Amino acid sequence: MFLTLEGIDFSGKSTQAKMLVDALSAERAVCFLREPGGTPISERIRTILLDKKNLELTDRAELLLFSASRAQLVAGVIRPALARGEIVICDRYYDSTTAYQGAGRGLPMDAVRAINAFATDGLAPDLTLFIDIPVDEIERRRAAAGKGFDRMEAAGREFFRRVRDGYCALAAAEPHRFVRIDGTRTPGDVHAEVMAALTASPLYQLHTP
């Protein structure tokens, strides 16, 4: 089974992904990945994408770099793990590209979808958990964590409004795959809803020992 977690920056999706891995790994073989990254080549691409020194990176080049990283991850890690019968949990996948580079950057959606399909060789998640927070929550959480912005996080409030709108549109268009979860609650409360959404999935039940 292939699960992905999505959301705008500081939504808590990475925390939820790790909590989900901890909850499942005691009884099941779990492969946990993040995007961009997950292979030596993909991690090098990640460094390029997030480094604030690379402000001249164009929107199209950004899209293609994310997709190149993903293509390497799918071929080298995700498909082999699924073939072994593992549950794959990925912190971001191609929905991030649709939301960030499509809705956020304003690149043509037809091109974004075609590149997503090519990079993944058509591999879609079985279930996507969208951890949703208001855009104003980004700054509050960033300040509370005492963290600076990487290149993507420095894009600005209006950019993240477009990204969130993009995620909401995806969730509305694919209700069979997306579960939208209120990320403004405590991590424990969000985790409980994540687990409830997962255990309600017929595909998950097939993978239950």
Q: What are the pLDDT digits (tens) for 53-109? A: 888 999 999 999 999 999 999 999 999 999 999 999 999 999 999 999 999 999 999
CATH C-level class of 2-206: alpha beta
Q: Please tell me the pTM assigned to this model.
A: 0.91
What is the DSSP-derived secondary structure letter of residue 122? T
Residue 206 has a pLDDT of: 67
| pLDDT score for 25 | 93
For 13, the token pair is 């999706």
Segments in the chain below pLDDT 70: 149-154, 205-209
Token pair recorded at residue 56? 């001249």
Whole-Å CA distances, 138 to 9, 104, 158: 7, 16, 12
What does the pLDDT read at residue 207?
A: 63
DSSP state of 53: G
Residue 187 tokens, joined: 């991590």
